[in-house]
Amino acid sequence: MFKKTIIESTGKSPWLFHINAGSCNGCDIEIVSVLTPRYDAERVGFKLVGSPRHADIAVVSGPVTKQSLPRVLRTLEQIPEPRCIVTCGSCPQSGNVFRDSYSVCGPLSKYVHVDVDIAGCTPKPEAIMDGLLLAAQILAEKKKTGNQEATLPNPYAPEKTAEEAKPAEEKTEEKGEA
Amino acid sequence: MSNLLNYIHFPIYSVMVLFLGAFLIVVLGKNKFLRHLIAVLAAGISLACMIALIKPVMLNGEVIAYWMGNRVPAGGYAIGIAMEVDALSLFFGLLISTAVFVSCVYSVQYMSHDENIPQYFTLFLMLAGGVMGLVLSGDIFNMFIMVEILTFAAVALTAFRNKVYGALEAAFKYLVVGCMGSTCILAGVIMLYANAHTLNFAQLSGIIPGMMSNNSVKIAFALLFVGFSTKAFIVPFHPLAADAHGAAPASISVLISGVLTKSGIYGIIRLTYFLFQTMGLGSFQFLLVFIGCVSMFLCVTMALAQHDFKRLLAFHSISQIGYVLTAVGLYTAIGFSAGIYHALNHTLFKGLLFLAAGAVLHETGTTNLDELGGLSKKMPHTTVLFLIGAFSISGIPPFNGFASKWMIYQACYEKAVESGNIGYVLVTVICLVTSVLTLASFVKVSQSVFFGRLPEKYENVKEVPWGMRLAMGMFAVLCVITGLFPNLVGKFLTHPAATAAFNANGYIDAMMGEGYASSALGPFMNSAQNVVFYEAGVWSPVSWLLILCIVLLAVTIVAVTGKYEKVNALATGEPDAKHALFFSGEEAVYSQVGGSDLFWGFKHNWRHYFSFMHDLHSGILNDYALWAVVALSLAMLFMLIVL
Amino acid sequence: MDFPFVKQAISQLFSKPSCDMYPFVPIEAAPNYRGRIAYDPNKCIGCGMCVRVCAGKAITLTRTPAEGGENITLTFDLGSCTFCNTCADFCNDNAITLTTDYHMIATKEEDLIVTGTHFKEKKKPAPKPAAAKPAAPAAAATPVKAAASDAPKAEAAPAAEAAPAPAVQPRDDGKPVNDPSKCIYCTLCAKKCPQEAITVDRKAKTWELNADDCVGCGTCQTACPKDAIIM
Amino acid sequence: MSVILNALVDLGYILIFPGFLFCFLCGMLLCGIERKIVARMQKRVGPPILQPLYDFFKLCGKETIVPTVANKTVYLAAPIVGLAALVVIQLFIPVFNFTAFAGNADIIVVLYLLLIPALAEIFGAAATGSPFAGVGLSREMVTIISCELPLVLVFLAVGKAVGNAIGSGVVFSLQTIAAYQAENGCLLFKASMIPAAIAFLLTIPGETGMHPFDAAEAETEICEGMLAEYSGKPLAVYKLSHAVKLLTLTSLFVALFLGGLGTGILLVDGLITFFFCVVVIICVVALIDASTARLKIEQLFKYYWTVVSGLAAISLILAWFGL
């Protein structure tokens, strides 16, 4: 009976759960700095929680190492629907400088559908804030449509000026719509 | 035939039926069905007689004086052996026969694992008969004999499972200190007889108060007082109870903690309120309240440090006896009725808890808190019944523990205001803090036995047989009823008993004929207080429960209808990562937080106290015997100085 | 029992919160903040220096032959870039600059790819290509980031020191291969291998490799006295 | 006819004014204000006031995962029983000598009723079987023990102070206390009552598990402690009962110490009580929350049984000698 309020408030109170998949702690301190007075993520409802059961958004940092892979996947599995997975920093997206090491199991997107990637080798707290806000909107979108793979157009996607970027643009456009 | 069924004979029926049952079981005990039938029948008849007596004795206030062999007192001297049932002894009789009946029903199926069961039931009925005899008898020597019977029956039953580790040793300890207590009572009875040349309780209560200045009477009082406190396991004698309960079968622990301790308390009440009538002295009230508070606080902290389920329950029963003693020691009308109301509640919820412990022992074979866990999934009924007992003992509002504990606080605080001495406020505070510590220890038990993780070796544990659950159900139903209707319990049981307690003259006249008490006791009329009872404070549990149910309904409706999406992810049974416990990423292995790793904060702050207590309770018989002797000498010293 | 920060707490209660309301008040990064890469294909001469110095192997260079020359496309994968600005320093034609745009959020792969192509025509076809066209020195390992570009297979070992055509071709997944002509089957490599992936039988003179155990760490290559192992 | 009427009125009390709806909204508002004030004290902007409502509805929309090893019935029933008991306590607390259910309230009863929500949480945690929850419930029980002593002393002191004034020895019933305050002003201004008021204020964060005393739900050390395995609707109900408990305790403080003559109109009285609650929250609970770090469980126990109980004992002794 509160369907509309539930959808609205899903977007307004996203709780974060931070998973360190072997990170160099650069991104970890950036994530926590988002909650400090200067950037204060709490004013839009973000809160760092201690257990995946309470979490909505899982923030993964670090190149998913062989040791941490099963643990990360199990923790992500334990987060109740609707959930978003955000990778912070470029390590989880590609393994960055650790890419070809024998103990890194490659990007997180190989195992799990990643909703938002925040690039940057320690992305700026504002960038993390953008990513999390986008993730919060995606969360609300998932709650509304009920499908866990829902996604939103990315407001920060680079506008391609060169002409060969144009086809890429259309291609991404309609793929987004599909 | 008609006068055989007249209620005047019921007291002797209820005692003799039990002894007759014991004898019959020895004769026909081999046949399983017959044995169980006789045992349950005997306990049932004795309970029925007690219930039948409620109307005449409780409501009409009549005191039954029953002379054996119809030898009525001649020339002012009571020769024959008498049975006297006034409201107070009927109250304790009722309490005891309910516990005996329920425990008998429970032990029919509980003892199925053991062998030589006929001996068990004979001893069981002997113990029951002994306690009923003690409570209903009007002759002090007869009380001593009954004390002897119940002590030996209890010792034999403690050692019944002699293969259990520590059973023989516990029984031996109980035997030694128990016999010290009995000999003290015997010595006291002999000194009384020497002074008053009579054994009849009523006549003694007429004569003795007049001779209080005589030293031998003071010594007799000290001896009797210490004798009965050994039976009630009060502070210096409490380690016996812990060992005895630890080893005895659960149905016997119900009797020991529910019934034997109450007989000790009954003895002390009879001594102080009737025989020596010393309750009027402020210092004597202070003695009882002091002993009550010490045993209350000491035993609850000891209970918190226990590793074994039944030892923990044993320490709790002594701490609850401390409550009863404190309330009785206040010597106010509401105090006394609160005290015996708590005694009734204690028998009910302690019986329930011991039966639950027995059920756990029956199924898993151990009561060690560190090894058990998660039994609620396998034994749901026992868990619910245990929770009712746990909530009652820790005084959670709708249950009976709360009603009586709350009356005790009222009584303590009013006594403090009326007597103007701030010590009683401290007593109220100790009572409240002990109640929270009781709650803490039962949270510890429920987490380490019923909730938490189920160890592998108890995978195939299943529910206890129906007979045991029926017995536990009886206690649980009684717990809830006495909790919800304190005013009914007050009207029928506790207030008549309290009026009887304060009316020593009525007791004496009933036995020795009209006017005897006023003539003998003339100068020493202790102020039979105008026993006024007011509903202590503003609280009606039934209306509270009604409101709670309405709000519960409202909350569940909100919780259920807001079903925006189906709760699709309820555990479907097969363990997958999503429904496994969160181990910060690791595989969810078995790890139970229970037993002694709880309440670190509290234990750390009290570590010096706990280490001192640990050394004090050494478990060596010589120490306990030494404590008994020291207690006796202190009691004598106190009586000589104070009285 | 002192409450250390009570004074600050009370005074801060009445002062303005020191919080720059980010999403509603846009904030510029510091002047020379190393943010998103901007690539100007026209300035690029396709030398491939940036590919070689990139720590995160974020840059891939592909040459697609087109009539009269070839199209050289460089793709920068921001998802694998450490923003260390080394590529911009080494690019002597300043084709790569790191802008101060820090909004690098992506919901799809393409959002983090910066790419650019330029056409480079060739005067005349070189005479018989004795040596392979000095293409950009092959990156040490083929880039895992396949993306659109199909990086050419790593060039064969430079012709200089390969006297006879090497009988044994190195495997493509960088795992060791044994050259039977040189191998004396001293089993040193088998002993040194951390994963015990190599089994050597001295009598039967056989050398096999268990591919999935091997992690390609190269210890066997360094241990081999006769350099019989090629990675 | 009148039976149905006052049954309806009673139902109204239960569900609307001091009952469920009032608790729900005011509890959430109070919690929101508290979080905002704490943020402002740390120079942060802080969440919107309605943030707890957003949290509640979001959690309602989430999926509920019941662990396989958990005991399902207790797992689902515990939060509901806790919340129901809390709302019932709120019914007994007088709002300027108006009480929804007159013949039912007594300080010692309220003291024991406050145990039920805490027990609901403990047995909820025990039912999940998770080791984090086990450590959490052991700490919660120690917190309850440590908060019990000061509360007892405060209630006895108040009972004695009012008893002296009325001359009837001791008074435990909340109605008489409210009536006494209606005639001769708040209890706070009596000399003996000031240490008791301070002690009660220091116990409120402990009893509700607010920041410095939240060893039981330490999200960093033991992953949300008792609520480690809760998600979705049961978790929403637990968060709601935390907020309502904050409201209950502050309104109990207002009823005991800031009584006085109400305006008689139900709604205005309610608003005034709520305003007093907010003031109490701001100047004490939020201040302690913002300026201190989390105490270890044994420090918490030692703090409550020495400092706070000492204060309460002083006031009891003062009240005893008739100040």
Tokens encoding D271: 């608003």
On the CB side of D266, CA atoms within 13 Å amount to 9
pLDDT in tens, B50-89: 999 888 888 888 888 888 887 777 777 777 888 889 899 9
pLDDT in tens, B205-244: 888 888 888 899 999 999 999 999 999 998 888 888 888 8
The answer to whether D132 faces chain A, any CB pair under 8 Å, is yes
Cβ separation B564–A53 shorter than 8 A? no
User: Which residue in A43, A95, A154 is closest to C105 by CB distance?
Assistant: A154
Helices (H), B111-166: 117-136, 140-158
Looking at residue A164, what is its pLDDT?
45
- The answer, yes or no, to whether residue D160 has pLDDT greater than 60, is yes
Tens digit of each residue's pLDDT, chain C (231 residues):
567 788 888 888 888 888 888 888 888 888 889 988 998 888 888 777 888 888 888 899 888 888 888 888 899 998 888 998 888 888 878 889 988 888 888 888 888 888 888 888 776 554 554 444 444 444 444 444 444 444 444 444 444 444 454 567 777 777 888 888 888 888 888 887 777 888 888 888 888 888 887 777 777 888 888 888 887
Residue C16: closest C-alpha in chain D = D43
Cβ separation D60–B564 shorter than 8 A? yes
ipTM of this complex prediction, to 2 decimal places: 0.82
List, as one string, the DSSP characters of B200-211.
Answer: BHHHHHHHGGGG
Cβ separation D134–B594 shorter than 8 A? yes
Place of tokens 């109301």: B341
pLDDT in tens, D49-58: 999 999 999 9
Mark which residues 5-34 of A lie under 8 Å from B by CB: 6, 19
The answer to whether C79 faces chain A, any CB pair under 8 Å, is yes
CATH class, domain C32-159, is alpha beta
Mutant choice from D33, D34, D35, D41 vs C, greatest count of C C-beta within 10 A: D41
> Please, do chains D and C touch (3+ CB pairs < 8 Å)?
yes
CATH class, domain C169-231, is alpha beta
Tokens encoding B558: 């909100």
The Cα–Cα gap between B220 and B224 comes to 6
Residue A140: closest C-alpha in chain D = D58
The answer to whether A118 faces chain C, any CB pair under 8 Å, is yes
Cβ separation B406–D109 shorter than 8 A? yes
Q: Domain map of chain C by residue range?
A: 32-159, 169-231
The Cα–Cα gap between C110 and C100 comes to 20
Cβ separation D316–B605 shorter than 8 A? no
Q: Domain map of chain D by residue range?
A: 2-320
- Tell me which amino acid residue D32 is: G
Place of tokens 């709806």: D21
User: Which residue in A1, A80, A81 is closest to B561 by CB distance?
Assistant: A1
The answer to whether D287 faces chain C, any CB pair under 8 Å, is yes
Mutant choice from A18, A75, A144, A145 vs B, greatest count of B C-beta within 10 A: A75
The answer to whether A45 faces chain D, any CB pair under 8 Å, is yes
The answer to whether A145 faces chain D, any CB pair under 8 Å, is no
Looking at residue A165, what is its pLDDT?
44
Element (H, E) at D277: helix D266-280
For chain D, the chains sharing at least 3 beta-carbon pairs closer than 8 angstroms are A, B, C
Task: Give A66→chain B minimum CA distance, Å.
Answer: 14
Q: What is the mean pLDDT of residues B572-591?
A: 78
pLDDT in tens, A77-118: 899 988 999 999 999 988 888 888 888 987 898 999 999 999
Mutant choice from B376, B431, B538 vs D, greatest count of D C-beta within 10 A: B538
Strands A84-88 and A57-61: parallel
| CB of C154 closer than 8 Å to CB of C138 | yes
Which pairs from D6-14 meet CB under 8 Å and 24+ separation? D10/D100, D10/D101, D11/B550, D13/D91, D13/D100, D13/D101, D14/B547, D14/B550, D14/B551, D14/B554, D14/D87, D14/D91, D14/D100
**What is the biggest distance separating any 2 CA atoms in chain A, rounded to whole angstroms?**
53
Q: How far is CA B216 from CA B233, B236, B275, B552, D144, in A?
A: 26, 24, 15, 64, 51
pLDDT in tens, B26-41: 988 788 888 899 999 9
User: Which residue in C1, C6, C18 is closest to D291 by CB distance?
Assistant: C6
The Cα–Cα gap between C111 and B628 comes to 86
Mark which residues 526-545 of B lie under 8 Å from D by CB: 537-540, 543-544
Cβ separation B578–A72 shorter than 8 A? no
Give the count of Cβ contacts less than 8 A between chain A and C.
132
How confident is residue B568, by pLDDT bands cut at 50, 70 and 90? very low
Tokens encoding C181: 């002509």
pLDDT in tens, B329-358: 988 888 898 999 999 999 999 999 999 999
pLDDT in tens, B443-470: 999 999 999 888 888 888 888 888 889 9
Give the count of beta carbons closer than 10 Å to the beta carbon of residue B154.
26
How confident is residue A176, by pLDDT bands cut at 50, 70 and 90? very low
- Tell me which amino acid residue B411 is: A
Q: For B114-126, give the secondary structure using H, E and C.
A: CCCHHHHHHHHHH
User: Which residue in A19, A68, A77 is closest to B577 by CB distance?
Assistant: A77
| CB of B188 closer than 8 Å to CB of B140 | no
pLDDT in tens, B124-142: 999 999 999 999 998 899 9
Mutant choice from B453, B534, B581 vs D, greatest count of D C-beta within 10 A: B581
Task: Give A31→chain D minimum CA distance, Å.
Answer: 15
| CB of D181 closer than 8 Å to CB of D220 | no
The answer to whether B546 faces chain D, any CB pair under 8 Å, is no
Domains of chain A: 3-177 (3.40.50.12280)
Q: Print burial letters for D153-181: b (CB count within 10 Å at least 16), e (below 16).
A: bbbbbbbbbbbbbeeeebbbbbbbbbbbb
Cβ separation A156–C83 shorter than 8 A? no
Task: Give A26→chain C minimum CA distance, Å.
Answer: 12
Residue D235: closest C-alpha in chain A = A54
Looking at residue A155, what is its pLDDT?
82
User: Which residue in B561, B569, B577 is closest to A74 by CB distance?
Assistant: B577
Cβ separation C12–D42 shorter than 8 A? yes
Strands C177-178 and C96-98: unpaired
Cβ separation A146–B578 shorter than 8 A? no
Looking at residue C132, what is its pLDDT?
44
The angle subtended at Cα B228 by Cα B227 and Cα B231, nearest 5°, is 100
The Cα–Cα gap between A59 and A55 comes to 10
The answer to whether D218 faces chain A, any CB pair under 8 Å, is yes
pLDDT in tens, B386-444: 999 999 999 888 888 888 898 898 888 888 888 878 888 899 999 999 999 999 999 99
